[in-house]
């Protein structure tokens, strides 16, 4: 949604995600009764943020609309953000699929387990290779460590276990580079959790076409992010 300015008769609000993030108060001028002075101290801290705005829309006329609400507090952090939880694993396993015998994917890369390739590290995949169900599980958890670390490094706001796990699943599918440059992450780091949740469902195309499997995966990840019933999308 971006960042913009909203003016009321009593204050000017720096808005983001439907809520104000800074409030600039106005008071009568001592030298001119027809003017008001704006306390701009909040602007300095706003533009000192790492994600400071590049542009904004300015309202030129004050309105009598009700004062906007401040940004709600972020959900408190909870345990379980070191590793993906069982729900996140269930989503990944369902949509990645499991193969216990090495096969060549659509571009000829040898793959095994839950989409594991040699590029992800050990074990190196070769023709004729087979693994057990437990080995497939262990390899997946090892492969996910990169994405768990990547999510922790990129997210600057508190996450609960479901939010963290949904983001790990999302990043595992689209890549950490895409996640790091996404509007989803930008909204999340701005404290707009609801806006970030709605961004999941935009990532449903491959080769310019909307894929039903990606639609269901994004719906499942969004539901988990919101601690809702994700299982309806994987059964």
Give the domain CATH number at 139. 1.10.530.40
In a domain, 206, yes or no: yes
pTM above 0.85, yes or no: no
Higher pLDDT, 205 or 25: 205
Paired sense of beta strands 209-210 and 205-206, if any: antiparallel
Reported as half-sphere exposure (CB side, CA atoms, 13 A), residue 102 has a value of 13
Residue 112 has pLDDT above 60, yes or no: yes
More confident residue, 57 or 19: 19
Q: Are 175 and 91 members of one domain?
A: yes
- 155 and 225 housed in the same domain: yes
- Mark whether 90 and 146 lie in a shared domain: yes
Find, among 134, 143, 142, the residue nearest to 100 by Cα.
Answer: 134
Mean pLDDT over residues 71-100, rounded? 79
The reply to whether 93 and 35 lie within a common domain is no
Looking at the DSSP bridge assignments, the partners of residue 116 are 112
pLDDT at residue 68 tops 80: no
Tell me the catalytic residues. Answer: 96
Cα radius of gyration rounded to whole Å, the chain: 23
């Amino acid at each position: 949604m971006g960042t913009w300015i909203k003016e009321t008769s009593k204050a000017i609000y720096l808005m983001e995600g439907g809520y104000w993030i800074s409030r600039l108060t106005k008071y009568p001028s001592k030298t001119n009764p027809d003017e008001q002075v704006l306390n701009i101290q909040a602007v300095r801290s706003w533009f000192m943020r790492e994600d400071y705005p590049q542009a904004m829309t300015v309202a030129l006329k004050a309105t009598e609309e009700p004062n906007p609400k401040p940004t709600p507090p972020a959900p408190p952090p909870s345990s379980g953000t070191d590793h993906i939880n069982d729900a996140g694993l269930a989503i990944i396993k369902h949509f990645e699929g499991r193969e216990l015998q090495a096969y060549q994917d659509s571009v000829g890369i040898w793959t095994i387990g839950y989409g594991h390739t040699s590029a992800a590290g050990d074990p190196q995949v070769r023709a004729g290779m087979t693994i057990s169900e437990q080995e497939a599980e262990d390899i997946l958890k090892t492969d996910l460590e990169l994405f768990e670390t990547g999510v922790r490094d990129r997210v600057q706001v508190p996450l609960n276990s479901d939010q963290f796990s949904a983001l790990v699943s999302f990043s595992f599918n689209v890549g950490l580079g895409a996640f790091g440059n996404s509007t989803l992450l930008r909204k999340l780091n701005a404290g707009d959790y609801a806006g970030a949740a709605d961004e999941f469902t935009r990532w449903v195309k491959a080769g310019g076409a909307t894929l039903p499997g990606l639609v269901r995966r994004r719906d499942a990840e969004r539901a988990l992010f919101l601690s809702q019933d994700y299982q309806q999308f994987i059964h």
